[in-house]
Amino acid sequence: MAEQQAASQLRRRSFLKRISFGGTALLPAAGWLAGGTAARADSDSRGGLTRGDAAILRFLAAAEILETDLWQQYNELALGNDAFQQGLFALDGDMPTYVNQNTRNEFTHQDFINAYLVSKGRRGVSLEPFRKLPSSQATGSNKTAKRLTNLMDLTVDTSWYTRYRSTGNPDFGDTFPQIVNLVNVPAIPNGDLPVGGDDIQVIANTAGFHFATIEQGGSSLYDSFIPKASSLEVLRIVAAIGGTEVQHFEIWQDKAGNAPPVPLATGARFPQLPIGPAQTPDGHDDADPMDTNQVMARPCKFINASLPLCAVIRPTTTAHAGAMAAATGLANSGLFQGQSKAFFDFVLELAEEADEARREM
């Protein structure tokens, strides 16, 4: 037990170091422990759920609450801010509608998973005590609402674009370059900007890529939990909700490829993405694999490098796609900028317990 506690503390320090989290005052514990983790104190099986299954669902509930929070911010502006809406239209005329549908789905995911946990005699997850971050002050936003996530200063990982167009797989140690460098940039406006201007178009382009970044991460996260679930019902939940994450990603990676370049006299603020035919006239796939039309997953290494290439979600291993990897990726993006150490500790404990889950027969 002492070794396990030491390992947990080491992971915790490593996580906080990786996200460069500075010291801040802790929130009072009483408010959030009631909806908090403490899964290790639960009995091994209650209501038909093993401790591991409960831990998986608790982390997914927290992840869906965070997704709902960020999508709600996007939804308010996609539907209520003319300049942001027109910027999204430049990527596709259905963008605001799809943002609204994605937001609706996230609400159903967080509500269902928490209700399922409670129906099985397990505690649900609440992040309400951490709802403290400010809202955008642009028209359309609920300006007085407190948020869990920050969308106004993000570093967006766009390596999924090159990863899914490559035969490589992070689970084999492969790495991939960014297709667009989006570092410390806003994905929503914090005030009203002119319709059709370069500033709002860069923001809308950034949002378009962030949509795909979030959903491809969710696709891998859910997939990583499938081998860990013990209950067939929990396996059904993870696979079914995870499937919608894949649907979301496919929509958003297709739309992100339509992001228009935004030039300046000194160079491109948002570059021209590769454009070309998906295939040559004779049907051979000789086109640039970075072509924006190449939106279906390219076959890659899977399970064993000696096996034939296969088109799959990747990564899927715990190390690269699990709860800790997901939490670290979101934190490094700046999505939680302004949150307290208590928030990071809470999410980290949920992530540790979810990654430690093992299938029980």
Amino acid at 3: E
Q: Tell me what pLDDT residue 43 has.
A: 42
Mean pLDDT of the chain: 88
- Would residue 5 count as lying in a domain? no
What stretches in the chain show pLDDT beneath 50?
A: 6, 20-43
- Would residue 30 count as lying in a domain? no
Q: Which domain holds residue 250?
A: 48-262+284-355
Structure tokens at 22: 């500075």
- Would residue 3 count as lying in a domain? no
- Would residue 330 count as lying in a domain? yes
- Would residue 18 count as lying in a domain? no
Q: Tell me what pLDDT residue 25 has.
A: 31
Number of structural domains (the chain) is 1
Q: Tell me what pLDDT residue 5 has.
A: 54
φ, ψ for residue 300 (rounded to 5)? -145, 175
Q: Tell me what pLDDT residue 279 has.
A: 55
Q: Are strands 49-50 and 154-156 parallel, antiparallel or unpaired?
A: unpaired
Q: Apex CA 336: angle with CA 330 and CA 342, to 5°?
A: 110
HEC states along 307-320?
A: CCCECCCCCCCHHH
Q: At what angle do helices 232-256 and 51-80 cross, to 10 degrees?
A: 30
CA dist., res. 341 & res. 20, Å (int): 11
Rg for the chain, CA atoms, rounded: 21
- Would residue 193 count as lying in a domain? yes
Q: Tell me what pLDDT residue 342 has.
A: 97
* Segments in the chain forming alpha helices (H): 2-18, 30-33, 51-80, 82-89, 95-119, 159-163, 198-225, 232-256, 318-321, 323-332, 341-355
- Would residue 309 count as lying in a domain? yes
Q: Tell me what pLDDT residue 15 has.
A: 58
- Would residue 43 count as lying in a domain? no
Q: Apex CA 287: angle with CA 282 and CA 291, to 5°?
A: 140
Kindly report, residue by residue over 74-86, the tens digit of the pLDDT: 999 999 999 999 9
